[in-house]
Structure 1
Amino acid sequence: MSTSDAWPALPYEEWKDTCATLHLWTQIAGKIRLALTPWVNHSWHVAMYLTARGLTTSTVPYRSGSFEIEFDFIDHALLVRTSDGARASTPLAPRPVARFYRELFDLLAGLGIAVRIRTMPNEIPDAIPFERDEVHAAYDADAAHRFWRILMQSDRVLERFRAGFIGKCSPVHFFWGSFDLAVTRFSGRPAPPHPGGVPNLPDWVVRDAYSHEVASCGFWPGGGPVRYPAYYAYAYPEPAGFSAARVRPDAARYSPELREFVLPYDAVREAAEPESTLLEFFESTYAAAADLGGWDRPALERESPDR
């Protein structure tokens, strides 16, 4: 497979409508998992995960069994599978969020699954309740497939990066609220209360997420002030001097607006060695956060087995 096939182009402006619709569709599935699983610190119980075909809620407990919801970006279908062998599906195709919401809950009802969710989207300004959203209705199958392939490549590198840390660390997971793939390392020390202020997200949820010092990084398809897909890295609380730290590769820049380092995805996909370039970004930004923040790095790190 060529580099261009493995790391496909995904100009944000060409698929922004599909991106917005898919963001909302994943929120509906994610909120179903949220409603049925015990609360885990930092909201780790709500995240989705990469599969060999798309994104999954992973196992969701229900009564004496379980089920999962998967977005299949190869056959472009939404599937619900239960632990007793039942399954139902509907195509991933252009239609309003309100219709998708009804169809998914009809699938669940047909499988004997009853659940209620809060229908206001999270982390989105000017949000429309799912059942009333006739605005977002785009689905470009090719773009959705390329997005998933980028997530797969990013997941591979994030897993390598995660392997070098033996302190508390999140899984590599996909947050449907912010619509990004992320991994987070922890220093082990409590952090000052987060100011909150995230659109349509209770401040207590944000404070739970940032209850302890973190260095986090991941992939985001773009939006708002960043009109291109990008990798990011930030620290909370941000240590003095972090914004001026020298990180690699040279294409990485600190965004004062986002308060994080940003590396355009195209700088990675066009590099001679995309995986090494991306790993360099994750490691150098983490080193800046940990060194400037006074983390006990010898106690928290190890040489990755693949090195």
Structure 2
Amino acid sequence: MDESQMWAVQYRRYGGPEVMEVGQAAVPSPSAAQVLVEVSAFSLNQLDLDGRAGRMRPMMGFGFPKGSGVDFVGRVVQGGGRAAGVDDGDVVWGYTGLKPPGRAAAAAQYVATGADQVARAPRTIPPGEAAALPLVGLTALQALRALRVGSGKQVLVVGGNGGVGSATIQVARLLGAEVDAVVGRQSQAAERAGARQLYNYHSGGPEQITRKYDAVVNAAGASMLAYRRTTARGGEVMALSPAAIPLVVLSLLSPGARIRTMSARSVPEDLTWLADRVDDGSLVPIIDTSYELKDVARMHEDAQARSACGKRVVVVGQH
């Protein structure tokens, strides 16, 4: 076996789920500012679906094959000590951030990532469960902080049954808010996350909602202007979709709630906050399906064909 090579989830052209495969790439050599992590599990995110489908061409770099995956759980095998509290042999989790993936990304046997982009993973659950949380947890926590969500605030999460939505419900409740959610045919993830009231968008649009909210987190990217009208005076909407940028500008020029957007950043302190909440039992990874590595194409297919009900993860090994 050539130890300079590793497996990596890749695609050789843009297209549907059928383009996903497990190929090969060179084992990365970490820089002085990086750690090398042997990956135990990774999750599927909307970024992966958009990248594979060709919807992110401006930032994807040139050439094929392209790697996939942006968050992971695994063991540090080189470079430990460069991040506070992280040593060789430690199990960590992280988010690699938005960048061209090259031939390999986080869905690979090894990932080289900034020592400031990882933190210790939760100790009380296996990597295959922890992998459901890094990116969606960071997104939820940072979005809610930006909206100044705290004790007594009323929050509406649109898309509450997906990975980001179900994490946002839980984190908002941990910050002291009361949380309702908009869901589709599946509601189990939002219910498990602790949503107080559920609105089914199949049985009625935003007009069915009479309560006013201090903050609306739209994780689905749907009916942005309509959900803007569900905010209380001084309330804001966080749109977790790049497609919302024109509406952000529009909201600054027209009466009504401000629409904001953001991209999560990999902040070790935030990853540690999330890990602590998992370890004390107050934050739970909500998983739709766990797949084997050979089933990455089927995972993409399921994500396209089935309603979201938590996260999809791939487990490639246990530490």
Instruction: Tell me which protein shows more strand as a share of its residues.
Output: 2
Instruction: Tell me which protein shows more helix as a share of its residues.
Output: 1
Q: Greater relative contact order (Cα 8 A, min sep 6): structure 1 or 2?
A: 2
Same fold (TM over 0.5): no
TM range (shorter): under 0.3
Q: TM-score, normalised by structure 1?
A: 0.26
Q: TM-score, normalised by structure 2?
A: 0.25
